[in-house]
A and B are shown apart, each in its own frame.
Chain A
Amino acid sequence: MHSSLPARVPGALSSSAAAPETVSSLSLLASELKVLFQRRRTWAMLLALAAIPVLIAVAVRLSSSVPAGRGPAFLDRITQNGLFVAVTAMLVSVPLFLPLTIGVVAGDTIAGEASLGTLRYLLVAPAGRVRLLLVKYAGALVFCVAAPVTVALAGAAIGGLFFPIGPVTLLSGDVVQPPEAALRLVLIAAYLSLSLAGLSAIGLFLSTLTVVPVGAMAATVVASVVSQVLDQLPQLEWLHPWLFSHYWFGFADVLRQPVLWDSFASNAILQAGYVAVFGALAYGRFVTKDVLS
C-alpha cells in the first residue's frame, strides 16, 4: 500500500468543504437511484411489467374476436384502437403486479441495506438517519412512477405495432384525437403512481422493523392484498374510504370529457394521510433504532 494520500488539512472538513444541504441530498438521491436501477432485479421487475401489455396484445391479435363484455374492461376495444392495450394492461396490473413490485422496492429500502451491512456504513458516513429515510422514500417514489409508465409505454408501443391507432372514444362518449388520448394515458399512469405512494410508505415503515428484506417485502404485498379484500366486504363499508387501495381503480374518471378530478383529489388526500402516518412511524422507529447488523 502506498502512502500517497493528500496532505491533511486540519479543520478543512469541518468548516468550508461541506456542500450545501440540497446539493448533497440530491447527490445521495442520484446515488440511490443509480443503485436501484443498476440492480438486475429492478430491471427484471420492469421487464415483467412490460410483458403484461405484450401478452395482452399477442393474445388479442391471435384470437379472432373478443366478445364484448368479457375479460377485463376495455379488452374488446383493443382491436379498434391499439392505445387500449396500455389502458387494459394498467388495469390488470393494479391489483397484484404493481403492488408486488412496489412491495419489493419499498420493503427493501432499509432492510436491504441492513442485511447487506451497508446501512452501518451509510450511517457512519454520516448520511444522517432522517436524510437517509427521506432519500430512500424518494427512491421508492421514483420507482412508483417508473412502474406504471413502463406498462403504459410498452402498451402503447405494442398496441401501435399490432393494431390501428386512431381517435379514441372516451367513457363519456366523446371522441379525442391520439395526442389527447396519449395525454390521458399519462394521466392514468400518474394516477397509479399516486395510488402507490401510500403503499410505499407502509413498505418503508415495515422495512425499518427488520433486517430480513424478504420479510418486509412480503408483509407489504400482504398489506395491499388485505386492503383490497377488506374493500370487497360490504359489512365493512364504514372502513372502505380509509383503505389505501380504495381509489386504486378510480382512474376511469380520467377517461371522461371533461376529466372528473374527484377521485384524483380524494385519492391524493388519502395517500397523503398514509404517507404522513407511516412516514412518521418509520421516522419514529428508524431514528432511535440500534443498528446492529
Chain B
Amino acid sequence: MNGTSGLTIETRSLSKRFGHQLAVDSVDLAVPHGSVFGFLGPNGSGKTTTIRMMLGLAAASAGTVSVLGLEMPRRLHEVLPRVGALVEGPAFYPFLSGAANLHRLDAASRHAPPATRKARVGEALERVGLAHAAGKRVHAYSLGMKQRLGIANALLSPRELLVLDEPTNGLDPQGTREVRSLVRSLAADGATVFVSSHLLAEVEQICTHAAIMSAGRLVAQGPLAELRQSGEAQIRLITPDARRAFGVLLRLGMAPVAGTPEPDGEVVTAVAAGSSAGAGPGGDPAAQDMVAPEDIVARLVGAGVRVRGFSVERESLEDRFVALTGEGFDVAQ
C-alpha cells in the first residue's frame, strides 16, 4: 500500500525557488508509515511550502515527492482522496454555515460518495465538537471554531494520511488538548499523521518522529527519542573540592568548567566524554561511549572529592531546536 520503502511521505532533494529566494532547499524527508510526525521550524522556514508541494498545490523547482508510495503530483488523483489536509489555516465561505461548507468541499471530491455525505459531515462535526454550531454561518465562528471546522474537513472521509499544518493555532488550552487526543486517536486508527508546528511542546507531546526545518533546509530528522539523545549530555557536580575534581575529570577526558558557586560548594560542569555532539539525522545515540555516571562518581570519591551533588543533564529538545534554528523571534530570511 505504501510502496516498498515503508514511507508514507518521501521527498528527495525537494527544492522550491521563488525568484531569487530558495524557500525549500534540497529537503529529504522520510515519514515512516504509521508515525505521528512532527514537522518543526520557525515561521518562514519553508514548512508550508513543503506541504504545498506534497499536496500538489505548488510545483517543485527540483526534486521529487512521493506520498503513499505514489509520485506527486502525477498521481494526485489517486493520492489526495486518501489524504486529509489542513493547510496554512482554515479557509471557508463566510456566508455559508459550517455544515454547508463541509458539504461544498466534500462535493468537490469526485471520490466522496454523495449518498453518505450528510452522515459523514455530521460525524466529522461531532468529532471536533462543532455539532451545535453546524447551522451557524462561518462568519460568526471564532478562530478556534474555524480551526476545528478545518480539522473536520480533513476528517470527512477515512484517511490514510493526515497533513495538519499548525492544527492548534488559535485554539484555547482545552481545544489544544482535544486536538492532541484527536491526533492520538487517528494514529491509533492506523493513519499516519504529519503535524507541522512552530510550537515545540506540542510536537514533543504527541509525536513519535520529528524533523526540524531552518531557513529552507532540513537540519535534523528521526525518531523523537533519537533526536533528544543526539544532544550533548552534561554532568553537573557540586563539591567544595573543585580543584581536585578538575584533575579527576581531566584524566577522564572531559573538559570541566567552573560554574556559579552554590551554598554547598562550587559547581563544576563538563560535557560528558565521548558524546557525539551534533549527531546528524539518524545519528547513533550518543550514550554508548560515555563514561558511566556511577564510574565518574566512584573516581571522584576515590580521589577524595566530597560529592555533594551530581547529575547528568541531557540537552532538552528545546535546546536542540534552538541550537539548530537560532534563538529569538527572527523570522528566517
Which residues of A are interface residues toward B (Cβ below 8 A)? Answer: 1-6, 8-14, 17-19, 21, 23-25, 27-28, 30-31, 34-35, 38-40, 116-118, 120-128, 131-132, 288, 290-292
Contact = CB atoms under 8 A, between A and B. Distances in A.
15 contacts: A5-B123, A5-B155, A6-B123, A14-B78, A17-B112, A17-B113, A18-B81, A19-B114, A117-B91, A118-B91, A124-B83, A126-B56, A132-B108, A290-B59, A292-B52
Q: Give the residue among B103, B105, B129, B155 with the most A Cβ atoms within 10 A.
A: B105
B91 A18 contact: no
Contacts of B110: 18-19, 21, 24-25, 28, 126-128, 131
B107 interface: yes
Interface residues of B, number: 56
A40 B96 CA distance: 11
B21 to A, nearest CB: 13
B84 to A, nearest CB: 9
Given A3-B185, A10-B1, A292-B52, A123 B105 contact: no
B93 A121 contact: no
B82 A13 contact: yes
A236 B8 CA distance: 61
B93 A118 contact: yes
Contacts of A116: 91-94
Given A19-B114, A25-B110, A27-B114, A1 B92 contact: no
A1 B181 contact: yes
What's the dominant secondary structure at chain A's contact region? loop
Contacts of A10: 1
Contacts of B106: 125
Contact of B87 (A5, A25, A40, A120): A120
Contact of B57 (A13, A28, A120, A131): A120
A21 B114 CA distance: 12
Contacts of B182: 1
Interface of B: 1, 52, 55-59, 76-78, 80-83, 85, 87-96, 100, 103-114, 123-124, 126-129, 153, 155, 157-158, 178-179, 181-182, 185, 189-191
Contacts of B108: 28, 31, 121-122, 125-127, 132
What are the 7 tightest A-B residue pairs by CB atom distance, in nearest-first order? A117-B91, A24-B110, A125-B108, A126-B80, A127-B108, A31-B107, A290-B58
A40 B111 contact: no
Contact of B96 (A38, A131, A291): A38
Nearest to A115: B91
A5 B92 contact: no
Nearest to B89: A117
Contacts of A40: 95
A9 B76 CA distance: 21
Contacts of A13: 81-82, 111, 157-158
A217 B190 CA distance: 46
Contacts of A132: 108
Contacts of B58: 290-292
Given A3-B127, A4-B123, A5-B123, A121 B87 contact: yes
Contacts of B95: 38-40
Given A13-B111, A18-B111, A121-B153, A126 B123 contact: no
A261 B53 CA distance: 51
Contacts of A125: 80, 105-106, 108-109, 112
Contacts of B123: 4-6
A12 B127 CA distance: 21
Contacts of B190: 8
B105 A121 contact: yes
Given A35-B96, A116-B92, A121-B105, A291 B111 contact: no
A127 B189 contact: no
Contact of B114 (A23, A118, A128, A288): A23
Given A18-B111, A125-B106, 8 more contacts: A1-B127, A11-B1, A14-B82, A31-B104, A118-B92, A125-B80, A126-B76, A290-B58
A120 B91 contact: yes
Q: Give the residue among A8, A21, A124, A126 with the most B Cβ atoms within 10 A.
A: A124
A116 to B, nearest CB: 6
A8 B127 contact: no
Contacts of B100: 34, 38
Contacts of A11: 1
Contacts of B92: 116, 118
Contacts of B189: 5, 8
A1 B178 contact: yes
Contacts of A122: 105, 108
Nearest to B131: A2
B155 to A, nearest CB: 7
A73 to B, nearest CB: 39
A53 B230 CA distance: 77
